[in-house]
A and B are shown apart, each in its own frame.
Chain A
Amino acid sequence: MNSRETLLCPRPAGLYCAVGDFYIDPVRPVDRAVITHGHADHARAGHGAVLATPETLAIMAVRYGAQFAQTTETAAYGVATSRNGVEITLVPAGHVLGSAQVVVRHKGVTFVVSGDYKRRSDPTCAPFEPVPCDVFITEATFGLPVFRHPPARDEIGKLLDSVAQFSARSHVVGAYALGKAQRVISLLREAGWDRPIAVHGALERLNEVYGAFGVELGALRPATIAGKGDFAGDIIVAPPSALTTAWARRFADPVDAFASGWMRIRARSRQRGVELPLIISDHADWDELTATITELNPGEVWITHGREEALARWCGLQGIRARALALVGYEDEED
């Protein structure tokens, strides 16, 4: 157990590997960082050296400018690199484009840091790959049995039904700018929606990154207003924060939709004034979290952030050693 403690341990800046001298998803600037994915709470600017997938590095460059770190190193999925004898491999996490789990191996001990992950199919990113390990360090954003995401296809069906039913209104879908927005657009395409989809300006550059990595989003157009009654019968995708601004009021009698795992809870929808909640999440739900732990059957489970206590209790009931790390700095509100 001692080697486990020293291989990775929680520090205020994030998970730290003393032997390899690097942090995973540090929340403040450090010398050497491994980044799991491009969401702002995991990928911050100002580190010395950054190791990440090519997609994540491209996303960071779009968000923070090309100089977001002093040096960068690309790690393709499945290709191991070494730091002071510690082997680091990034494998797909299925969360967003370029998202990775970090597999850390040293002297025969394997740690897997899941980062944010999901097990559902997602046309915009590579699927989660289970890696057998001694310690599985998991997220628990939706770590309560109330969170069971319905099939995303059905939720998109709800949206399209509403568009047909309220054809004189516009539908503004709030979706996190990185990942969720592109997934919603892809799911709409899979469901046969082939009309141009209007997008908020904040999404444009990330959509281009997705396009550059081969994710087809179909015809998009800027959601800029020309006259009153515009966008009736249309679908507009925008970051969640734009829903509550005057920007979203310019469209024809908009139906506020919001694509998020939090929409499972009615009070959340009501608080945000959401008329059409779409329960679409890029995080593992309760069943995925527990099924993944059962599948991997690790010696120990560490839980980084989210509702750690419930998942830890579940592990305890299954006879699996679990430990809540209670890392701070990872926001779960936007999913």
Chain B
Amino acid sequence: MRAFARLLDRLSLTASRNAKLTLVRDYLTQTGDPDRGWALAALTGALSFSAAKPAGLRKAVEARMDPVLFAWSHDYVGDLAETIALVWPSRPGANYEPDLSTVVDALAVASRAEAQVLVEGWLDALDADGRWAMLKLVTGGLRVGVSARLAKQAVADFGDVAVAELEEIWHALTPPYLNLFAWLEGSAPRPDAAAAARFRPVMLAQAINDAVDFVKLDPADYAAEWKWDGIRVQAAHEAGVRRLYTRTGDDISHAFPDVVEALRFEGVIDGELMVMRGGQAAPFGELQQRLNRKTADAKLLAAFPAGIRAYDILADGENDLRALPFRQRRARLEAVLTRYGSERLDLSPLEPFETWAALAARRAAPPPGDPARAEGLMLKRWDSAYLAGRPKGPWFKWKRDPRLVDTVLMYAQRGHGKRSGLYSDYTFGVWRDEPDGRRALTPVGKAYFGFTDEELKRLDAFVRENTVERFGPVRSVRADADFGLVLEIAFEGLQRSTRHKSGLAMRFPRIHRIRWDKPSRDADHLANLEAMLEIMGS
């Protein structure tokens, strides 16, 4: 438990992705089976308990110390599990210090009442960090800033294999992953991945470079289609098993019963998950109502019906189609959807074109309806096989040019990692008319990249020199009609939002240019953004 506690402790305070990968990889190297497998399961969300209830833990603490001192401690610390970990009176030697697998094995067969006794015994034996880690584990929620994807990458690094290879077999594996580690350490063959409706690693597109790529590419070699604004999913239906996966292989079937229900064909389809009504795609914001949920109730399903717009087929019945060229896969996909298509599963149409210039014109002025809200275009070579990862050449994404808006810097916050000494996170605003007729700035977003190191230094100096107020790590900077720094912000989309005072939320905002020259009074007005929202749909 000590090593696991140390790992969680460091992960929870580490911002850098590379450092996190090192921490997880080293842990896997230094820890034996089965503990490392259980730790991996905990990090990837494959292991969760709700054995210990906060109320039960609170009672146990109050039986051991003055409830008033405990209440003051809780007020001070904030987090209940952390408070209990800190105040719990240790009884070294009262119990043996459990390792991770002891905890997992014991809780797997314990009743609620037994679990409470077990947890109290472990709290006696562990130190404060161990208690914290154990409580995080048994109350079901590590929240240490590690995604399943990152954990898998660390496993791939540990075994020196491609993460795609790992993803291909992931769904055939169960904690504590003894066969996985045996394979990665070279003492056993690769685990068998032929499970029904398993995840297949997805093929990703390169961003096209307008300036250099088109001259080398023959338009006759490529098919074009709109790049839909949802999330990439893989839908599998094999031997009676139906699954819906994200592009990283996370199983989200439970949250989308309506979509799973619509998988009537046998095979594996690649497509875009969106909220769809009567064959029309809804803006991304509506899909967000359905994401990151464990389940979906009838009300949510009715309000935000989801569906898949299919653009590729990986398997048809028992036939693996990935080695076939895109042209043939496309024909199979169209045939399948002619038979099994529905309001919840439709076809992503191809956009015919003769020349790159003609396609560029379509991209700049998409036809009304769904294409107007697309993120741009996808280009796929007619002869491309379906390859895992992001091969250079067969597929390109050609994003629409970003929207631009001139804003005024309002607040700055210190960054993390190598930027932690610098004010590198910027909140910016646009003008709006107050009820009393005056113009005032209202925040519309936050950006923390899009500038060079040199520009960052200058921005940091500007923030320090023009600070009006400080709130912890945040500074407000002078921003009014006579003085302020104009930031030209590029963004991909706009949504209505009740969380922001301006009523708007930007997608993927970043600093496009710093307008040291532009007077703050000439920055954009909220009305300009409102107008963009109309075009993009809300």
Which A residues lie at the B interface, using CB under 8 A? 144-148, 150, 158, 162, 165-166, 243-249, 253-254, 256, 264-267, 269-271, 273-277, 307, 309-310, 313-314, 317
Contacts and interface: CB of A to CB of B under 8 A. Distances in A.
A249 B69 contact: no
B194 to A, nearest CB: 38
Contacts of A145: 65, 69-70, 73, 86-87
A146 B421 contact: no
Contacts of A166: 19, 22
Given A158-B6, A264-B128, 18 more contacts: A145-B73, A145-B86, A146-B87, A150-B127, A150-B128, A165-B26, A166-B22, A243-B420, A246-B422, A249-B418, A254-B418, A256-B420, A265-B76, A273-B416, A273-B473, A275-B13, A275-B14, A313-B66
A245 B128 contact: no
Contacts of A309: 72
A253 B86 contact: no
Contacts of A269: 13
B93 interface: no
B460 interface: yes
B472 interface: yes
Contact of A314 (B69, B86, B457, B460): B69
A266 B9 CA distance: 9
A166 to B, nearest CB: 7
A254 B417 CA distance: 8
Contacts of A270: 13
A267 B22 contact: no
B228 to A, nearest CB: 37
16 contacts: A145-B86, A146-B83, A146-B86, A148-B86, A243-B421, A244-B420, A244-B421, A246-B460, A249-B418, A254-B418, A273-B420, A275-B14, A275-B417, A277-B13, A310-B73, A313-B66
B79 interface: yes
Contact of A266 (B72, B82, B417): B82
Given A150-B128, A253-B418, A310-B69, A265 B77 contact: yes
A127 to B, nearest CB: 24
Interface string B451-476: 00000010010000000000011000
B102 to A, nearest CB: 23
A271 B472 contact: yes
Given A145-B87, A246-B422, A267-B78, A165 B22 contact: yes
Contacts, number: 88
B10 interface: yes
Nearest to B460: A246
B414 interface: yes
A157 to B, nearest CB: 10
Contacts of B10: 162, 275-276
A266 B12 contact: yes
Nearest to A154: B127
Nearest to A269: B13
User: Which applies to chain B's interface (DSSP): helix, strand, loop or mixed?
Assistant: helix
Most chain B CB neighbours (cut-off 10 Å) among A266, A313, A317: A266
Contacts of A253: 418
A317 B70 CA distance: 14
A314 B70 CA distance: 11
Contacts of A244: 414, 420-421
Interface residues of B, number: 39
Contact of A249 (B72, B87, B422): B422
Contact of A264 (B19, B22, B86, B127): B86
5 tightest A-B CB contacts, nearest first: A146-B86, A273-B420, A145-B87, A146-B73, A249-B421
A247 B420 CA distance: 11
A169 to B, nearest CB: 8
A243 B420 CA distance: 9
A245 B421 contact: yes
Nearest to A314: B69
Nearest to A264: B86
Contacts of B26: 165
Most chain A CB neighbours (cut-off 10 Å) among B15, B86, B421: B421
Contacts of B76: 144, 146, 265, 307
Interface in B50-82: 65-66, 68-70, 72-73, 76-79, 82
Contacts of A158: 6
Contacts of B22: 165-166
A56 B420 CA distance: 35
A264 B422 CA distance: 25
A256 B19 CA distance: 13
B13 A274 contact: yes
Nearest to A265: B77
Contacts of A165: 22-23, 26
B421 A248 contact: yes
B3 to A, nearest CB: 11
Interface in B88-118: none
Contacts of A147: 86
B13 A276 contact: yes
A217 to B, nearest CB: 26
Nearest to B72: A310
A77 to B, nearest CB: 34
A277 B65 CA distance: 27
Interface string B125-149: 0011000000000000000000000
A146 B69 CA distance: 10
Interface string B386-424: 000000000000000000000000000010111111100
Contacts of B79: 266-267
Contacts of A273: 414, 416, 420, 473
Nearest to B12: A266
Contacts of B420: 243-244, 256, 273
Nearest to A268: B77
Contacts of A245: 421
Contact of B73 (A144, A267, A274): A144
A126 B428 CA distance: 54
Contacts of B68: 313
B129 to A, nearest CB: 8
A307 B10 CA distance: 28
Most chain A CB neighbours (cut-off 10 Å) among B6, B23, B69, B419: B69
A76 B79 CA distance: 46
A253 B422 CA distance: 14
A145 B6 CA distance: 22
A166 B19 CA distance: 8
B80 to A, nearest CB: 12
A271 B473 CA distance: 7
Contact of A148 (B69, B78, B128): B128
Contacts of B419: 249
Interface in B1-51: 6, 10, 12-15, 19, 22-23, 26
Most chain A CB neighbours (cut-off 10 Å) among B22, B23, B77, B472: B77
A275 B421 CA distance: 13
B73 A275 contact: no
Nearest to B86: A146
A241 B516 CA distance: 30
Nearest to A251: B418
Nearest to A252: B418
